[in-house]
Amino acid sequence: MNDVAAAAGVALKTVSRVVNNEPGVNAATALRVHAAIDRLGYRRNDSARTLRRGRTASIGLVIEDAADVFYSSLSRAVEETALHHGCLLFTGSSQEDAARERDLVLAFCARRVDGLIIVPAGTDHTYLAPEFEAGTRAVFADRPPGAGCEADVVLSDNVGGARAGTAHLIAHGHRRVAFLGDLPRIFTAAERLRGYREALAAAGLPYDEDLVAMGPAEPARLRADLTRLLGASDPPTALLTGNGRTTVETLRALASITGSAPGPVTTGAFPDRAPPGLGGLALVGFDDFELADLLGVTVVAQDPARLGRTAADLLFLRLAGDDGPVTRFELPTRLIPRGSGERPPPPRRDRG
């Protein structure tokens, strides 16, 4: 900028004014400055600019895994909103690791991001207190912050969604509904388990621990749990899977267990024959996923993009000075019947 000023024969400040389109610069002078800028290939250093101005015009986003469709949709929505507000976006994946989440957040804070959107992996966010004190704002998405951390949060209605999915299966005659969930320490997994239990209770059905399998969405673990479930003396006739990954891996596991892939819905909306590969099981999955429509898999859909958009909107509201009380948004889920969740249980065999 100094060089430009020298080249144009003006003061530093005049160059600054021109570069920022500030009013009150003689057109001729501005022209001279512009010429110098072009000649020297000058580009403003926004790093220095933000240092001076106090705001970095950047926000940080910590998600679980950028490669996961759920979080990448959320991320995309946040990006859109950020750009719309003239903000650049730092992204990082916590990999469901609390320490890594903290490191990322603190790294973003060290760069003095104006705000944060966090899908928390950990449950202790006391490390954020100094940052909050320093004026950094944060909005939590998909999961709430740990106890003792007051911050806005945008969630899906996990309990309601799981309840609806379970009730849907029960309404179609199922009395033995299994739940395949994520690790129970994960907020959404615990909430969905709660919804599942509530639906059972509402229908007067007993809660049977043997019908519940919580764990990571890994093929080996799901295969083992499914084998156990299906081999039991009183096996489930329906499955509620706790998230997108789990649903997909369950379909895969079932295909290998029953010896064929899950079948599609035939022409009509809801076929009355069993989709091959589900082995006669009914299935409702939490989270919509690509090709679920073709496969005829009934799901409880979240809207990850809306989750991200809402969180980002909220953050920018805060950054604009909104100092209202901490809020908690809960976005609705939507049950999409596609066949796999509308199948009745097989006729009851007599026992003995």
Interface residue list for a second copy (CB under 8 A): 41, 43-48, 50-51, 56, 58, 65-69, 72-73, 75-76, 79-80, 83, 88-93, 106-112, 130-131, 133-134, 248, 251-252, 255, 259-267, 276-277, 289-291, 293-296, 305
Residues 241, 180 contacting (CB under 8 angstroms): yes
Sequence letter at residue 300: V
In whole angstroms, the minimum distance from the beta carbon of 23 to DNA comes to: 7
Rule CB under 7 A: is residue 20 a binding residue for DNA? yes
Q: Which does 13 bind (CB under 5 to 8 A by kind): DNA, a second copy, none?
A: DNA
Please spell the DSSP secondary structure of 143-160, one letter per residue: SPPPTT---EEEEE-HHH
Separation between Cα atoms, residue 278 and residue 276, nearest integer Å: 6
Rule CB under 7 A: is residue 135 a binding residue for DNA? no
Residues 292, 243 contacting (CB under 8 angstroms): no
In whole angstroms, the minimum distance from the beta carbon of 228 to a second copy comes to: 22
Rule CB under 7 A: is residue 29 a binding residue for DNA? yes
Site for DNA in 38-77 (CB under 7 A): 43-45, 48-49, 51-53
Rule CB under 7 A: is residue 12 a binding residue for DNA? yes
Nearer to DNA, 39 or 334 (CB): 39
In whole angstroms, the minimum distance from the beta carbon of 187 to a second copy comes to: 23
Q: Which does 26 bind (CB under 5 to 8 A by kind): DNA, a second copy, none?
A: DNA
H or E element at residue 129: helix 129-133
Nearer to a second copy, 196 or 316 (CB): 316
Edge-first strand listing for the sheet containing 212-214:
212-214, 177-181, 238-241, 282-286, 298-301, 334-336
- Residue 212 has phi, psi (to 5 degrees) of -115, 130
- Length, in residues, of the chain: 352
**Location of structure tokens 């209770």:** 201
Q: How many residues bind DNA (CB under 7 A)?
A: 27
Q: What's the burial of 29, exposed, middle or buried (CB within 10 Å: 0-12/13-18/19+)?
A: middle
Rule CB under 7 A: is residue 1 a binding residue for DNA? yes
Nearer to DNA, 19 or 232 (CB): 19
Q: Which two tokens stand for residue 90?
A: 């730092």
Separation between Cα atoms, residue 343 and residue 238, nearest integer Å: 9
Rule CB under 7 A: is residue 185 a binding residue for DNA? no
Where on the chain is the footprint of DNA (CB under 7 A)? 1-2, 9-14, 16-17, 19-20, 23-26, 28-30, 43-45, 48-49, 51-53
